[in-house]
Amino acid sequence: MSPLDVVTSSTGRVLTEPVRHQIVGPVLSLRRPETARLLRRMRRHHVMPAFSYPWGSEQAYLELLGDVCPLVVLHVPNEVRDGDVESKVRVLSNFGAVIVLTSGPTDPARLLLAGAVNVLPHDLSPPELASRLVAERRWLTLSRSGSDRRVAWKLRHLPEVQQTSQRVLLHLLSSASRPLCCHDLCLLLGGADTPLRRRALQARIRRLDDRLAQHGMSLRRTSEWGRTTFRGIHDRHR
């Protein structure tokens, strides 16, 4: 059976039709050569993109945050420790539904508790994996709430920022479903094995503060015991 895409008619009734385009958003990889092999196997089913992004990719985050109903796949190779994956799932789930594809033994319960909507072995047959991804998209579409539209509205009302790294940071801070601490941001913006240095994050935050101040905005934040927690954007004009 071919995977089915979910389409909502003008009457609100959910219809199904053959998939004509990918149904998941960005694929984040902790080891891209292994992920490339997976995507080649899945190509004929048209439910996943043709290429992956490395963890920490600014372009991947912009793509994720630009989706009204975001669904992201995190592909995890054998040698990555479960604790490292849990941390990544926990912070990534602030911005969309996360499906973890694993290539070795893992503890699904821990990843589900960390925020994943599903944990699947990547060696499922391509038709089965495609169908499971379609099912996740169907559930996500049906359960989508007004919060997605509110996030999209907030992003449209942010100031224009030309530098990609600053735009990504601004959108992350504006879109998170829960407060983000400085360690979360260092994890998100770093590489698969090495978080962004705290000093580098502080420099980005200072530049963003200056940019927001020009538009009558500021970051909501609290600091305690050496940890800064960000709680969104304050607009003095609203």
User: What is the tens place of the pLDDT at every residue in 123-144?
Assistant: 999 999 999 999 988 888 777 6
Domains of the chain, residue spans: 4-143, 146-235
Q: What is the average per-residue pLDDT within 34-57? A: 93
Percentage of residues of the chain with pLDDT beyond 70: 82
Q: What pLDDT is recorded for position 144? A: 66
Q: Is the pLDDT of residue 16 over 50?
A: no
User: What is the tens place of the pLDDT at every residue in 64-108?
Assistant: 988 878 899 999 987 666 678 999 999 999 999 999 999 877 788
Q: Provide the whole-model pTM.
A: 0.82
DSSP for the chain reads ---EEEEE-TTS-EEEEE--S--S-PEEESSHHHHHHHHHHHGGGTSS-SS-EETT-HHHHHHHHT-SS-EEEEEE-TTS-HHHHHHHHHHHTTSSEEEEEESS---HHHHHHHT-SEEEETTS-HHHHHHHHHHHHHHHHHH--HHHHHHHHHHHTSPP--SHHHHHHHHHHHH-SS-EEHHHHHHHHS-SSSPPPHHHHHHHHHHHHHHHHTTTEEEEEEEETTEEEEEEEEETT-
Q: What pLDDT is recorded for position 79? A: 67
Fold of 4-143: Rossmann fold (3.40.50)
